[in-house]
Structures are given as structure tokens and as C-alpha cells.
Amino acid sequence: MAGRGVRRDDEQAYFYYQMAYKRAKDEGDGAVWGSAAPRLAGCFEYGRGGERDRRRARDLCLEAEAGLLEAVPDQPWHKGQLARAREGLERLARE
């Protein structure tokens, strides 16, 4: 899947998701790292941009859920990301 006029680059996506996740985690912004974690989890779940690691993907989904549960009452626009993290947890539990 590629964006309009942009070639898909899984390694670059992984790099930027990892960077966003770490930066937000360091700053303690649960809404931001909670939003970055499901995207990074997808990289680990499917082996995009690096090695496949389903345990790490699950851990990231759990972290995302925790961070977003803190953010959702104050910032309802994160509900979609919370749903995405929970879908990831369900998917990873089935496989």
C-alpha cells in the first residue's frame, strides 16, 4: 500500500514510528505514544521494516491501550487508536 505519489518504504516507516514512540514515551505523553505504539506494533506483527516479533507487537498493543485509556476521557479523538490497539490484541491472541 503506497500513498499518493509516495513509494512504500517499510524500513523508513519503522524508523519514524520507533522515533515517535520513543520520543513521546520519554516526554510522558500517553496520547502520543499510545497512538504511535499500534503502528509500531504492526511493523513487528507483520515483519515490516525489521524482524517479525509477535511478542513485542502484543506488548506494544498493551502499552497503547494503557496510554490511550488515560488520554481518551480528555481527548475523544483517540478512540479510533484505542480501538486499533484492542483489535491488534485480539488478532494476536487468536494466532
Q: Which of 77, 4, 6 is nearest to 35 (CA)?
A: 77
Cβ atoms < 10 Å from Cβ of 12: 11
Q: Which amino acid is at 62?
A: L
Q: What is the pLDDT along the chain (95 residues), one digit of tens a residue?
A: 556 788 889 999 999 999 999 998 888 877 777 888 999 999 999 999 999 999 999 999 998 888 888 876 777 777 888 888 999 999 999 87
Record the pTM: 0.81
Instruction: Give, in degrees to the nearest 5, the angle at Cα 76 between 70 and 82.
Output: 60
Instruction: Give the separation between CA 88 and CA 83, rounded to whole angstroms.
Output: 9
Dihedral (CA of 80, 82, 84, 86) sign: negative
Question: What was the pLDDT predicted at 3?
Answer: 62
